[in-house]
Amino acid sequence: MKKPIVVIAIIVLLGIVGVLLFSGKSNVPSNVIQATQPPGSSVAPVVSSTGTAKTIKVRAFQFGFDPSTITVNQGDVVTIELTSSDVAHGISIPGVGFDLKVDAGQTSSGTFTASQKGTFPFRCNTVCGSGHRDMVGTLIVN
């Protein structure tokens, strides 16, 4: 008489355990799916293998650059976002083969790879007024 009750109790317990295990398993795949999405961040390792991507905002004005010193690391892929706060300007960094122009009041951008360590002077490449020659700066690649 008591044995069937024990057997039924065991079956019920196994059923509960089974449901718990099943619901546990059903959670695992959703975790796996979430875990497979971050590998979208595997895009980052691809970038870091060739250097860190850096975007540097530079304001050009009569007559200077802000900042006038740009510091990056060797291997960095550097994007310069150049904004003019008055007339047309530009930036030329001969040491890294970089040239960019910007129209009055506009923003333009360009990218170069800082492949060599060193100190590279830059200057405005667009005649912009009496102080044009004073528009200089320095790129430092560490």
Q: How far is the CB of 33 from Cu ion (least distance, A)?
A: 54
Task: Enter the tokens of residue 1.
Answer: 């008489």
Q: Which of 124, 84, 135, 80 is nearest to 105 (CA)?
A: 84
- Distance separating alpha carbons of residues 91 and 83, to the nearest angstrom: 11
Q: Which of residues 29-68 bind Cu ion (CB under 5 A)?
A: none
Q: Does 135 bind Cu ion (CB under 5 A)?
A: yes
Q: Which of 128, 137, 139, 141 binds Cu ion (CB under 5 A)?
A: 128
Please state, as a whole number, how many other Cβ atoms lie within 10 Å of the Cβ of residue 49. Answer: 8
Q: What x/- string results for residues 65 through 104 when contact with Cu ion is judged by CB under 5 A?
A: ----------------------------------------
Q: Which of 124, 137, 139, 141 binds Cu ion (CB under 5 A)?
A: 124
73 Cβ neighbours under 8 A, 6+ residues apart? 51, 52, 114, 141, 142
Q: Which stretch binds Cu ion (CB under 5 A): 34-42, 73-81, 104-112, 134-142?
A: 134-142
Q: How far is the CB of 140 from Cu ion (least distance, A)?
A: 22
- Distance separating alpha carbons of residues 131 and 69, to the nearest angstrom: 18
Residues in touch with Cu ion (CB under 5 A): 124, 128, 132, 135
